[in-house]
Amino acid sequence: MSARLLLFTGKGGVGKTTLAAATAAALAAGGRKTLVASTDPAHSLGDALGVPLSDRVAEVEGTGLHAVQVDPRALVDDAWRELRGHLRTVLAGAGVDELEAEELTVLPGVEELLALSEVRRLARGGTWDVVVVDCGPTAETLRLLALPEAFASYLERLFPTHRRVVRGLLAGVAGSGSVERWDATADALGRLAEDLAQLRDLLTSAETGVRLVLTPERVVAAETRRTVTALALQGIRVDGVVANRVVPDPGEDGGPAAAWLRTRRAEQDAVLAGLADLPGLRTVPHRAAEPVGTAALLDVAEGLYQGRDPLEGGGAAGLPLEVERTGDREYTLRLALPVGDSELELARVGDDLAVTVDGRRRLVALPSLLKRCAVTGAELDDTGLAVRFAPDPELWMR
């Protein structure tokens, strides 16, 4: 059985590590078997917990909370070396020069992908009720969460699903004595494809949620909105949004310090009002002292959750599709995609609809009915994106 998976991310410096650690500490204190893991190269999770961490799971002494710093470089050494050898075998069998094959198997993002796979292994191991992940900054996390699909696409182009055809071709090129080597390669790549599919399923499942951390500033809030859209485009659920470091309201106190606080709080309140429609919005007060150690983190969690279950979140699964008949010969495909002020582009690519938001592209497989239709228009409304289709006369009767 899989653990509940919470991924914390946000713009660098907004306090995501602290809030991830605080959430994990509160879950452990409430009796849940909890692991907090970091895939952030900054390695700041141990600083927040006040203990040194390694790539081995260990208990934070006397708390019941366990923690680990995922080391992707070690995973590359252990897991990727063998697979690279298999990929070089495939490329060499296809006639690629040995040196070129070496270069082609040096893939950007392998470290991050293996780190994500390690998180999946921990979540699926059956040991934990909840795995809380301190991810890297937003841009890195979006790239990280898109990797399983991107790698799966790469793998399909390199080694098609019709394995028997490829096996026969490669065996013929290499000679009959190499069939066993090709089979080993096929098995390894098949396992990789299966792992990528399971990783993708985990990220888009109802047991996984992303919590976005921000500070109440206009620039940070704008990035958060774009992140909500990007995650929905990938089919990943935003479980909650946390506005950190909300300054106290000084009331009617006088003096320059109180005047500064009033001005700052008014600016923050205006930003928060503009985020009220985001799922599960919570606020955390700005603290005078930096919270370090589980006792201080539990205090932060109390301010964040105010007695509620830390697993209680909001938000629906990303990019649900709905098709409805809206005219005599017209259909509308609705995508629950919170586009907001983002730049949106649509294109038809074979049987898929290519949706691009702020430069991030996703191919959406069209239902069978719409594969025989042409796009006639699109618009944004309160439910998200609505794309209109009409039957294509050249395809409709086929």
Domains of the chain and any CATH numbers: 1-318 (3.40.50.300), 321-397 (2.60.40.790)
- Helix 110-124 to helix 179-203 angle (10° resolution) is 70
Tokens of 87: 């990929």
**Distance (Å, whole) CA 5 – CA 210:** 8
162-213 residue pLDDT tens: 454 455 555 555 554 455 666 666 666 666 677 777 878 888 888 888 999 9
Q: Which CA distances in Å does 304 have to 224, 228, 299? A: 19, 21, 9
Torsion of CA 159, 165, 168, 173, to 10 degrees: -50
Q: Which CA distances in Å does 239 have to 60, 135, 213, 236, 350? A: 26, 15, 11, 9, 33
Taking only the tens of pLDDT, the chain with its 398 residues reads 678 999 998 888 899 999 999 999 999 999 999 999 998 877 889 999 999 999 889 999 888 899 999 876 665 555 556 666 656 665 555 554 544 444 444 455 566 777 888 888 888 888 899 999 998 888 777 777 777 777 677 666 656 554 544 555 555 555 544 556 666 666 666 666 777 778 788 888 888 889 999 999 999 988 888 888 888 877 788 889 999 999 988 877 778 888 899 899 999 999 999 888 887 899 999 988 889 999 999 999 999 999 899 998 765 555 667 788 887 778 888 887 776 666 778 888 888 888 887 777 777 778 877 888 888 888 876 667 888 888 887 776 55
Beta bridge partners of 5: 131, 208
Tokens 């025989």, residue located? 372
Q: What is the DSSP letter of 358?
A: T
**Distance (Å, whole) CA 223 – CA 192:** 33
Q: Which CA distances in Å does 315 have to 168, 212, 241? A: 48, 12, 10
Tokens of 191: 């396992």
Write the CB contacts of 172 (distance below 8 Å, at least 6 apart in sequence). none
